[in-house]
Amino acid sequence: MEKKSKKQPKKSRRTKIAVAIAAVVLTISLALTVLFFAPFFRIKTIETAEFEHYTGERIGSYLQEYIGMNGFRAVLSNSSLGQTKSFFSLELVKAEEKIMFDCPYLENVCIKYRPGSTVTVTADERRASFMTEFYDTYLLCDNHGIVLETFTKENVPEGRMLVKGIDLPGYKLGRSISDGKNKNIDTAIRISALLTQLNMDGYIDIADVSDYNNIYLYCSPALTIKLGGAENMGVKLSMLKGAMDKGISGESNGTLTVADGKQATFVKNGERED
């Protein structure tokens, strides 16, 4: 007659489970200790991309505090509960935000710890597009209206279209002058972006958007361009480019009209428009 096997006591099973859990916790603890304290993971080198407006030394200066620090601890110190990026991305998020705040020309900054001893810095660089005025200050903006730099009247750079006719309540470096509610500002930004897309940077000296329905462009010394309203702006500017590529320029001394979006009409100053 077979003997029935004895059931394992519950206390013994609990002991084995407790031992297994303790082993897992110990293993994780050892792994974390190695990651966060091992000398091999100390940061020694900052590798940064080359930028037109900022030197590698300047960008590297924002990360000097992390030299000698364990890389994983540096990543952890840059993390917060409110951020969207995971710790496992190994990005120094707070340092990224600091650089973008202080360096308006940079966007999409990525500062990443590369396991070992290196931190790498990459970013996209904004492209200056137009200028506008805020009292006695001239603001240099990109195609999204982001303020990149400010100038006084005495040191305004040449070669940038000056936008007139917009009333700014204020500005901040690194922020857009648009709040999405001012049609004049948004129209100016749209014109600037389209001119860049059409490779027309440098064609226009002044854009006057003070009248949203009656926009004018000017080319020095004597060309006036009637754009009319803000509708079909891409078509109008394409027609303008075609006319200017065929020889119309600031020296043409007249008025070029593309307001109807159907044809470009040029009338010399002193002549009557039929």
Q: Are 62 and 79 in contact (CB under 8 A)?
A: no
Q: What is the dihedral sign for C-alpha 266, 271, 272, 274?
A: negative
**Which strands form 161-164's sheet, in the order they lie side by side?**
147-151, 137-142, 128-134, 161-164, 206-208, 215-219, 223-228, 254-257, 265-268
Greater confidence (244 vs 5) lies with 244
> Residue 216 corresponds to which tokens in the numbers above?
């004018």
* Residue partners of 235: CB distance under 8 A and separation at least 6: 261
Alpha carbon 1 to chain centroid, angstroms: 83
Domains, the chain, with CATH or none: 39-125 (3.10.20.310), 128-268 (3.40.50.10960)
Phi, psi of 76 (to 5 degrees): -65, -40
The pLDDT tens digits of the residues spanning 194-243 come to 999 999 988 999 999 999 899 999 999 999 999 999 899 999 999 999 99
The pLDDT tens digits of the residues spanning 100-118 come to 999 999 999 999 999 889 9
- Which range has the top average pLDDT, 6-10, 13-17, 243-247? 243-247
> Residue 80 corresponds to which tokens in the numbers above?
């917060």
Question: What's the average model confidence in pLDDT over 9-32?
Answer: 60
- Please report which confidence band the pLDDT of residue 49 belongs to, taking 50, 70 and 90 as the band edges: confident
Q: Are 233 and 191 in contact (CB under 8 A)?
A: yes
**Amino acid code (one letter) for 116:** G
Greater confidence (88 vs 106) lies with 106
**Residue closest to 184 by CA, chosen among 216, 218, 210:** 210
pLDDT for 133 beyond 50: yes
